[in-house]
A and B are shown apart, each in its own frame.
Chain A
Amino acid sequence: MTATTHATTFAAGPERSVDLLRFATAGSVDDGKSTLIGRLLYDSKTIFADQLESVEQVSRDRGNDYTDLALLTDGLRAEREQGITIDVAYRYFATPKRKFIIADTPGHIQYTRNMVTGASTADVALILVDARKGVLEQSRRHTFLATLLGVPHIVVCVNKMDLVDYSEDVFERIRAEFTEFAARLRVPDLTFIPISALVGDNVVNRSENMPWFDGSPLLSHLERLHVASDRNLIDVRFPVQYVIRPQSHDARDYRGYAGTVASGVMKPGDKVLALPSGLETTIASIETADGPVEEAFPPMSVTVRLADEIDISRGDMLCRPNNTPAALQDIDAQVCWMDETAPLVKGKKYAIKHTTRWARAMVKDINYRVDVNTLHRDEGATEIRLNEIGRIQLRVTQPLFVDPYRQNRQTGAFILVDETTNKTVAAGMVGGLPHSV
């Protein structure tokens, strides 16, 4: 039985053979992100009757003349009181074609780090733009962050078209402005859709108010988007997460390296190289609790057994002998800073987590800070504050096995953690590798 058949035999009924698409909303405060998610859930009939009843009740109590669908995701007391989103809400829905995991993120600048949380694992970012306001600073910041985070697909939803008479001109103007901005970023796939989240135009159902638009409504676009090829199936990277050694008599000699395949496709019989030891051996078998598999690919969680006993522990990495990540102690990276209490400054030390490895890192240099509006690089910057993005140089206490984030969203990513407060203070993305090994 091969891994692929293992995966598909599992899917007996049609509703279970579907794949998974993760998307995140983004954009400025009040552009209608939460309303859009509410509308998607409502029009795709995935709202439960008691949930709907509850938001209708609250809307009535407040004297609204329409049901505030944003209340379906704004689940915290403070969010309902202030009418804004503060932290990511996760919602789920499925159509016969796909299951969707939605991260509805806040637009407010103060909560940008929560947007980063929601977008870091997304396949698609939905950037909302209020048709009356056009492209705002926060639209640019979020688009920039989405591209920095390597989100492969961006859909710009020009929202509130009902408030601009469904004007094609307004839509085209925003499209042009956005396209010009995006040209300076790395956006592999960019789509524009004019919508009204409140009324429902082009969300699930095609809008009759905008016959001039010949693209698909949002949901059909999301259903059809091809995301399988976004994964890196070339470079084998297997960060060892945990060593399984049963303490029972019948399995005394068992030793398996458990982990999640970060990238590439692994097969029994493949030659592998273990880092940091550099020792080579062969994959004896790849196991799961359901039995051995003939292939392992991302994001499978498996247990790898090797032909030779070599010393491997958590934080080590398996790869192919002729295709290895760089083992670096000096790291060039972009960071998004998330700590409100202290900025990132030169000379400060942090804990760093990269794949399954923890180490300590010191900020050796700040190269520049990016102005998200103009994409200008401020090379005189001496600190990076909350929600700012910058390029830095780190010195790490032990080598990390990295690839450029652009090639590998798993092995190019790290977080920094404040050693005193234990808070996660930065999302980091490894840059080009000037001095690869």
Chain B
Amino acid sequence: MTTHVLSQLRNLEAESIHIFREVVAEMERPCLLFSGGKDSIVMLHIAAKAFAPARVPFPVMHVDTGLNFQTVLDCRDRWVERLGVQLVVASVQEAIDRGLVRPEPNGSRNRIQTPVLLEAIEKNGFDAAFGGGRRDEEKARAKERVFSFRDDFGQWDPKNQRPEIWNLYNGRVHQGESIRVFPLSNWTELDIWSYIEAENIDVPDLYLAREREVVARGGMLYEVNEFTPLRDGETAEVRSTRYRTVGDANLTACVESTASTLREVVEEIAAVRLTERGATRGDDRVSEAAMEDRKREGYF
């Protein structure tokens, strides 16, 4: 009876493709923010589908905190190589060295990515930047438009967003202003994994469960490595873990898991009881409005 119905994942994919094409058709110089994490990978995968058989018609930009998991960097480079896209790296370390920004006392480079991002957007003349943000991630993101207008300081004004009606997106900006575009706005973490499985998408190995040497700290599990070495009095143990998000390597925790295949990850996420940020990101739990404040400053 119900013919001509798209499954909800294909529906989401079609919406994202529409958004990519709209931006490329209307904006002068878009770029895609690419961290090598699962959301930016799915975003780039869909971008490639939107313009096939032509190449992705914009560069990708990595705001590099210098605190990277090697497997994530490797995966980033595989994607860049495979799709033949141009990679722009905006280095936080370099910005620290020349005094533009200073790391926070706890070593977090999350917040100081913003000035580096804004500077790179300006320097490269980007008037649109695709971000992998999803509305299900966080309550301030849940409020943001697909086309998120930013003034010439890159700031988001949540109380004064442009109406966004039907799929008639308005990307008109004056010189110096820009838009952030979120093609995955309506995807959930489960959608992302179901899609990665269905399309067999190349993601960094750390999303899959492996035996890892970890240490429990503040209710979270951190892998013992050069970013998070053992502290005095701590003991490491080997547990089967995986990562749900990929942020700064010194602050991103892993979770206990036996999901070592994409199928098992999908099953795990379908049953999970904590949000990905709540489970793994010490830096996001700072305050009720931490994300809103960061976005106002121009964060992703």
- Residues in chain A within 8 A of chain B (CB atoms): 3-4, 7-8, 10-13, 15-20, 48-51, 54, 58, 72-73, 75-78, 80, 86-92, 94, 98-99, 101, 113-114, 116-117, 120-121, 228, 231, 233, 241-242, 244-248, 251, 254, 258-260, 265, 288-290, 295, 297, 299-301, 303, 314, 338, 351, 353-354, 356, 409-410, 413-415, 417, 422-424, 427
Contact = CB atoms under 8 A, between A and B. Distances in A.
Contact of A90 (B14, B161, B162, B186): B186
Nearest to A87: B143
A11 B25 contact: no
A300 B270 contact: no
B52 A289 contact: yes
B163 A114 contact: yes
B10 interface: yes
Nearest to B187: A92
Nearest to A355: B168
Nearest to A98: B8
Contacts of A258: 21, 50-51
Interface residues of B, number: 67
Given A10-B10, A265-B4, A413-B166, A92 B136 contact: yes
A87 B159 contact: yes
A-B pairs with lowest CB-CB distance, top 9: A75-B139, A50-B278, A289-B49, A301-B17, A246-B54, A289-B52, A20-B8, A422-B172, A11-B7
B158 A90 contact: no
B78 interface: no
A437 B215 CA distance: 73
Given A7-B6, A295-B4, A297-B4, A16 B25 contact: no
Given A120-B166, A260-B167, 11 more contacts: A76-B159, A78-B158, A98-B8, A241-B25, A258-B21, A265-B4, A289-B49, A299-B15, A301-B50, A314-B25, A424-B162
Given A88-B143, A299-B6, A422 B173 contact: yes
7 contacts: A4-B4, A75-B140, A75-B143, A90-B185, A121-B167, A244-B53, A356-B25
A248 B22 CA distance: 23
A301 B143 CA distance: 26
Given A88-B143, A258-B50, A424-B162, A48 B4 contact: no
A87 B161 contact: yes
Interface string B144-183: 0100000000000011011111111010111000000000
A18 B7 contact: yes
Given A228-B5, A241-B25, A50 B279 contact: yes
Contact of B289 (A13, A77, A289): A77
Contacts of B14: 260, 299-301
Nearest to B285: A50
Contacts of B15: 299, 301
B21 A241 contact: yes
Most chain B CB neighbours (cut-off 10 Å) among A98, A231, A233, A246: A246
A242 B24 contact: yes
Contact of A116 (B163, B167, B174): B163
B162 A301 contact: no
Contact of A19 (B8, B198, B288): B8
A76 B292 contact: yes
B266 interface: yes
B49 A7 contact: no
Interface in B1-42: 2-15, 17-18, 21-22, 24-25
Interface string B193-216: 010001000000000000000000
A7 B7 contact: yes
A17 to B, nearest CB: 6
A423 B151 CA distance: 12
A425 to B, nearest CB: 8
